[in-house]
């Protein structure tokens, strides 16, 4: 069973702070990693993808991948109330092109 684990939260951060969301996965052969944002009552929206070790930055978002430790994280700098949502981690296990989703972490950014 390929597993993707996330802390369900909620993670509460003040406006302007850095929000750090973490995800661990069980399959060492995993190659592709994604972060989706899902607002309440809406569908998931892809915000970041990462395929190699290290950091990948896109605006206020940074995805970090460490394959040796089998974790991927998402940092949101200068958090805004509009960032309040559930963040889903998705991982493509090795040998499969179908991603496994984590259960998501709820983020609350308070003014």
CA dist., res. 46 & res. 60, Å (int): 15
Residue 27 interacts with another protein (CB under 8 A): yes or no? no
Residue 61 interacts with another protein (CB under 8 A): yes or no? no
The span of 9-17, 40-48, 59-67, 76-84 binding another protein (CB under 8 A) equals 40-48
User: Which of positions 63-102 make contact with another protein (CB under 8 A)?
Assistant: 88, 90, 92, 96-99, 101-102
Burial code of 80-104, b = ≥16 C-beta within 10 A, e = fewer? Answer: eeebbbbbbbbbbbeeeeebbebeb
CA dist., res. 53 & res. 45, Å (int): 23
Residue 24 interacts with another protein (CB under 8 A): yes or no? no
Tell me which residues touch another protein (CB under 8 A).
32, 34, 36, 42-46, 49, 88, 90, 92, 96-99, 101-104
């Amino acid at each position: 069973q390929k597993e993707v684990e996330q802390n369900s939260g909620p993670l509460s951060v003040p406006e302007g702070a850095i929000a750090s969301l973490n995800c661990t996965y069980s399959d060492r052969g995993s190659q592709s990693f994604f972060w989706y944002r899902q607002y309440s009552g809406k569908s998931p929206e892809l915000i970041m993808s990462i395929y190699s070790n290290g950091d990948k930055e896109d605006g206020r978002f940074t995805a970090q991948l460490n394959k040796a430790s089998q974790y991927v994280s998402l940092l949101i700098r200068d958090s805004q109330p509009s960032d309040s949502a559930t963040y889903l981690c998705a991982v493509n296990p090795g040998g499969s092109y179908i991603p496994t989703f984590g259960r998501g972490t709820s983020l609350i950014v308070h003014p």
